[in-house]
């Protein structure tokens, strides 16, 4: 049976860019930019839905759950990208946030378009990770109907995992199999059907919001600094020491001492200096504070 794509919001024709092939380069760019300007306000309308999903993810992560993104094409690549950024940014294990893409790793660089049409493939991909009821699976599909995503979400529900979705159409098919659906309806693209544009931007914004807010709730951020960063290269070592200096007011020499004494751990270094305690005491306070620096300080009798 032929798929009636024209009914999808993402497949409609955009009357504002009907002449985009006949205008100057600058005007092409202005037309694209004008379309892009609408995305953030559209995403804003979904903040309540995003918030509800984040709260559920955090609850599961605190008891050992993981977060999986599943998708195909641009949507899948965006999920892989967001997952890949979590370990270096927030110091989490690479298995905590996982991007699963139709067609496997090769699809990240070379389109494997046929893979998205399988209802069974995502179940096999998720089963590889021993998906459980503690986990969360977020299906990404701009069109809201990708078979690979539908199959993965159905499998996730079978094993009792929490399910969420991010689509860019009203009444998306994938929303029907999600506990927490998010629909950011970005409308007709500047180039008809090119959902790597506004729809992709909306998905990227929402993924940023989800992963960032989850990490904040897990204690990976102090004030607005990513204090659980892993100093795996020279730039991140310098950033770690600068955070210690900035957040405690110490000089460069003292920051270096704290960095070394803490075992290259910014969070421990901050608690050590702020509360004038040793590494072991700071470590214990952070455990009691569920990884949050402010809670650790309060645990040690300090003010925040």
Using CA atoms, how far apart are residues 4 and 1, in angstroms rounded to an integer?
Answer: 9
Residue 299 and residue 281 in contact, taking contact as beta carbons nearer than 8 Å: no
256 included as an active-site residue:
no
For residue 298 the two structure tokens come to 């309060």
Q: How many CB atoms lie within 10 A of CB 299?
A: 18
Strands 162-167 and 180-183: parallel
**C-alpha of 6 from chain center:** 30
Q: What share of the chain is helix, strand, coil (3-state, %, to 5)?
A: 55, 10, 35
260 is catalytic: no
Residue 278: other Cβ atoms inside 10 A: 11
Catalytic residue among 11, 116, 189, 273: 116
Active site residues: 85, 116
């Amino acid at each position: 049976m032929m798929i009636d794509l024209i009914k999808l919001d993402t497949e409609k024709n955009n009357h504002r860019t009907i002449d985009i092939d006949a205008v100057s380069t600058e005007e092409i760019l202005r037309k694209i930019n004008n379309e892009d300007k609408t995305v953030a306000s559209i995403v804003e309308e979904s903040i309540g839905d995003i918030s509800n999903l984040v709260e559920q993810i955090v609850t599961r992560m605190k008891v050992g759950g993981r977060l999986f993104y599943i998708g195909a094409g641009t949507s899948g690549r965006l999920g892989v990208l967001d997952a890949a950024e979590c370990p270096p940014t927030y110091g989490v294990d690479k298995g905590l946030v996982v991007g699963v893409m139709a067609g496997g790793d090769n699809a990240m660089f070379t389109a494997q378009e046929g893979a998205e049409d399988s209802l069974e493939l995502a179940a096999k991909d998720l089963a590889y990770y021993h998906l459980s009821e503690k986990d969360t699976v977020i299906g990404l599909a701009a069109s809201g109907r990708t078979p690979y995503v539908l199959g993965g979400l159905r499998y996730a529900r079978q094993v009792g995992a929490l399910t969420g979705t991010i689509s860019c159409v009203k009444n998306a098919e994938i929303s029907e199999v999600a506990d927490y659906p998010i629909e950011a309806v970005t409308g007709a693209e500047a180039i008809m059907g090119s959902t790597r544009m506004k729809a992709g931007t909306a998905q990227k914004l929402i993924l940023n919001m989800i992963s960032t807010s989850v990490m904040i709730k897990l204690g990976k951020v102090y004030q607005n600094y990513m204090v659980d960063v892993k100093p795996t290269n020279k730039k991140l070592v310098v950033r770690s020491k600068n955070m210690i200096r900035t957040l405690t007011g110490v000089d460069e020499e003292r920051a270096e001492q704290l960095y070394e004494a803490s075992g290259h751990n910014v969070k421990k270094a901050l608690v050590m200096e702020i509360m004038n305690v040793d590494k072991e005491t700071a470590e214990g306070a952070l455990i009691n504070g569920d990884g949050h620096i402010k809670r650790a300080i309060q645990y040690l009798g300090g003010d925040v």
